[in-house]
Homo-oligomer: A and B are copies of this chain.
Amino acid sequence: MKEIKVGLLGFGTVGSGLAEVLLQQAERLRRKTGASIRLCRVADIRLEALPPQFKDVELVRDADLIFKDPEIDIVVELIGGIEPAKTFLLRAIEHGKHVVTANKALISQHGMEIFEAATRKNVEVGFEASVGGGIPVIKALKEGLVANKILSIMGIMNGTANYILNKMTDEGMAFAEVLKEAQAKGYAEADPTYDVEGIDTAHKLVILMTMAYGMRVSLADVSIEGISQIEPIDIDFAREFGYRIKLLAISRNHGDTVEARVHPTMVPEKDMLANIGGAYNGIQFTGDMVEDILLYGQGAGKMPTGSAVAADVVDIARNILCNSVNRVPCLSYLPEEIKSRGITPMESLRCCYYFRMTAMDKPGVLSAIAGILAHHRISIESVIQKARHKKGTVPIVMMTYEAEEASVRKALAEIDALDICTDKTVKIRIMKAHAE
């Protein structure tokens, strides 16, 4: 029987997950591919020994023992972070190895360098696990939706942020409180910045946009806002208006330019994205032929991510067995077809907005605020002014009709400069409900 040999860099959570998957599913994969797909060597500098079930797997400290082994077909990088992961991936490619990674930070920031190196050596780069954990989102985009112009990408791509927002929504807890609890339970990192400030989500959006549109995108192209400023009161008002607040990655394709943004968004409560619970991810593509497709599942975790990494390994194994390497271009479009394209300036975005002003409880306040909005041609769809809030201030909450981001920014700057406004206005963009 033919054998495909896999070398693994990094035996942390996801690395040991992949090892488990390949071990537990070995017989199933043989029944599907006719070959043995075997993890034969692991490089990890922190380990003394592998767990006993991996007695046939060799543990080494020097990653070169993987790159330079002519028997190894596929090198899987599950170290995470930029270095030494990047150097290792490039070295593996230089040695003619196919590579698989779950490293979204690396792929979103240094993907082009890696893909170009792989093209030169005619090896494959698998990165299914870099977006949406166990969900086969990249395969769906590259293959299932191959015959579509992608009109938009919209999704919940960070489980930690979604978990925190859901907990705030369901239990009325404050952001800091939920974060603390999530950290205690191991759902959030000690430094949660990447997750809660939208950076991790932006990494994933960059990867999806590259493939969806066949373009070069960099992290700097993405307008990013996180969820740390969201307060329970905003979640309550959202509920009152029939919305839930979600951290969304959004990219709409305008032809000449494409949007690239990550921010808290009010999602209509009937929308599938509003109903993504817990730490799950949900990623929606709209294609010109297929209309809306949503893929939902575990966006992280040892075994789900291991499942996605293993799917890449099997995909490449099949290409090795059939001699059909790079049968599907790794960025969906052929390398020479990847173009540069403009990013829609955030200022020209048009959408509906939620504003929460905090103002003195005095006559004339609403009139002053409404006057500034009118001056900037921002039409108010509805307004709620509730009873006194704290120390003589009241929250004034508004939902607008579609307005331009540039006008909104100017208007809010003027409003926040009013003496009667005591806090900075909270602004949350609203996702339109689908026409039924």
Contacts and interface: CB of A to CB of B under 8 A. Distances in A.
Copies of this chain present in the complex amount to 2
Nearest to A270: B277
A333 interface: yes
21 contacts: A21-B147, A24-B288, A28-B149, A31-B333, A32-B146, A32-B329, A32-B332, A32-B333, A32-B334, A128-B144, A134-B287, A143-B311, A144-B311, A145-B311, A272-B272, A272-B296, A291-B298, A294-B296, A294-B297, A318-B328, A321-B327
A278 interface: yes
Given A139-B144, A147-B25, A291 B272 contact: no
A184 interface: no
Contact of A324 (B289, B307, B324): B324
A343 interface: no
Most buried by B among A34, A148, A278: A148
A296 B293 contact: yes
Nearest to A31: B337
A306 interface: yes
B296 A296 contact: yes
A304 B290 contact: yes
Contacts of A310: 146-147, 289
B270 A291 contact: no
A323 interface: yes
Nearest to A142: B32
Interface string A353-371: 0000000000000000000
A303 interface: yes
Interface string A331-342: 011100100000
Given A272-B275, A436-B278, A293 B148 contact: no
Interface string A252-296: 000000000000000000101001111000000001111111111
B140 A307 contact: no
Contacts of A276: 272
Given A34-B334, A144-B139, A146-B32, A303 B289 contact: yes
A328 B144 CA distance: 15
